[in-house]
Amino acid sequence: MKKIKRTLVIVIAVFVLLGIYYYAALPPLNIHSAEIWVFAGILILIIAGIYIRRKRLNAYELKESKGLKVIMGVFAAGVAVYLIGALLSSPIVNAKKYQQLLTVETGEFTKDIEELSFDQIPLLDRDSAALLGNREMGSMVDMVSQFEVDELYSQINYQDRPVRVSPLRYASLIKWLTNNSEGIPAYIKIDMATQDTELVKLDQGMKYTTSDHFNRNIYRHLRFRYPTYIFNDLSFEVDEEGTPYWICPVKKYNIGLFGGVTIGRVVLCNAITGETEDYAIEDAPQWIDRAFSADLLVELYDYHGTLKHGFLNSVLGQKDCLATTDGYNYLAIDDDVWVYTGVTSITGDQSNVGFVLMNQRTMETRFYEVEGATEASAMASAEGQVQNLHYTATFPLLLNISGEPTYFIALKDDAGLVKMYAMVNVQKYQIVATGDTVSECEEEYTRLMYQSGIKEVEEDTREIQTVTGAVTKIAQAVVEGNSHYYLMIEGSDEIFDVSVADYIDVIRYNVGDHVTIEYKEGEETNTVLSVNRAEQDRAE
Helix H or strand E segment including 354:
strand 354-359
Mean pLDDT in residue range 485-489: 91
Q: What is the mean pLDDT of the chain?
A: 89
Strands 372-373 and 276-280, bridge-based pairing: unpaired
Q: Flag whether pLDDT at 537 surpasses 70.
A: no
Pick 113 or 198 by higher pLDDT.
Answer: 198
Mean pLDDT in residue range 307-325: 91
Q: Is residue 534 packed enough to be buried (19+ CB in 10 Å), middle (13-18) or exposed (0-12)?
A: middle
Q: Which tens digits make up the pLDDT trace of 420-431?
A: 999 999 988 889
CATH number, domain 465-539: 2.40.50.140
Q: Flag whether pLDDT at 218 surpasses 70.
A: yes
Eight-class DSSP state of 428: -
Q: What pLDDT, on the 0 to 100 scale, is given for residue 348?
A: 61
Q: Are 433 and 440 in contact (CB under 8 A)?
A: no
Q: Are 36 and 70 in contact (CB under 8 A)?
A: no
Query: Cα 480–486–487 angle (5° rounding)?
Result: 165
Q: Flag whether pLDDT at 434 surpasses 90.
A: yes
Nearest to 149 by CA among 194, 210, 231: 210
Worst-scoring range by mean pLDDT, 3-12, 26-35, 256-265, 422-431?
3-12
Q: Are 471 and 485 in contact (CB under 8 A)?
A: no
Q: Which tens digits make up the pLDDT trace of 34-67?
A: 989 988 898 888 888 877 777 776 666 777 788 8
Q: Which tens digits make up the pLDDT trace of 85-121?
A: 999 999 999 999 999 999 999 998 888 888 877 777 8
Pick 428 or 269 by higher pLDDT.
Answer: 269
**Banded pLDDT at 349 (limits 50, 70, 90):** low
How many Å is the maximal CA-CA distance in the chain?
136
Question: N- to C-terminal Cα distance for the chain?
Answer: 136
Mean pLDDT in residue range 209-226: 96
Q: Flag whether pLDDT at 145 surpasses 80.
A: yes
SS3 call for 490: coil
Q: What pLDDT, on the 0 to 100 scale, is given for residue 538?
A: 44
Pick 535 or 125 by higher pLDDT.
Answer: 125
Q: What pLDDT, on the 0 to 100 scale, is given for residue 59?
A: 66
Pick 118 or 143 by higher pLDDT.
Answer: 143
* Most confident segment among 43-57, 291-305, 374-388, 442-456: 291-305
Neighbouring residues of 439: CB distance < 8 A, sequence distance ≥ 6: 118
Q: What pLDDT, on the 0 to 100 scale, is given for residue 170?
A: 95
Q: Flag whether pLDDT at 536 surpasses 60.
A: no
Q: In what order do the strands lie in the sheet with 235-238?
A: 235-238, 244-255, 259-270, 276-280
Q: Flag whether pLDDT at 540 surpasses 50.
A: no
Return the number of other C-beta atoms located less than 10 Å from residue 403's C-beta: 12
